[in-house]
Amino acid sequence: MTLQQLRYVMEVASCGSITAAATKLFVSQPSLSKAIADLEQEMGISIFKRTFSGSQLTDDGVRFVTYARQVVDDADRLKASYKNSLGPHPSLSVAAAQNALVSRAFGEVANSLGPQYEFSLRGGEVSEITERVQTRQSDVGVLYRSSSNADAVEAFIGSAGLGYSPLASIPIFAVLDVHHPLANRESVCLEELANLPLIDQRPWYGDRIHPVRRLFHLPPMARRVIVSDAEVRRRLISQLNGYGIAVGSLNDEYSPTNLARVPLQDIGDVEICQLTNPNYPLSPTAKAFLSALRRIALQSDGGHEPVG
**172-263: CATH topology:** D-Maltodextrin-Binding Protein; domain 2 (3.40.190)
Does pLDDT of 186 surpass 90? yes
Strand 270-276 and strand 48-51: pairing? unpaired
Q: Is the pLDDT of residue 11 over 80?
A: yes
More confident residue, 68 or 84: 68
Element (H, E) at 292: helix 284-299
pTM: 0.66
What fold is seen in the domain 3-82?
Arc Repressor Mutant, subunit A (1.10.10)
For residue 218, what pLDDT is reported? 75
Q: 122 with 143: CB under 8 angstroms?
A: no
More confident residue, 237 or 250: 237
Does this chain's domain 3-82 share its CATH topology with 172-263?
Answer: no
pLDDT in tens, 82-129: 555 445 567 889 998 767 889 899 999 999 887 778 888 887 778 788
What would the DSSP string read from start to end of 145-178?
E-TTTHHHHHHHHHHTT-EEEEEEEE-EEEEEET
For residue 202, count other CB atoms closer than 10 A to its CB: 13
Q: Among 3.30.930.10, 1.10.1200.10, 3.40.50.2300, 3.40.190.10, what is the CATH number of 91-169+270-299? A: 3.40.190.10
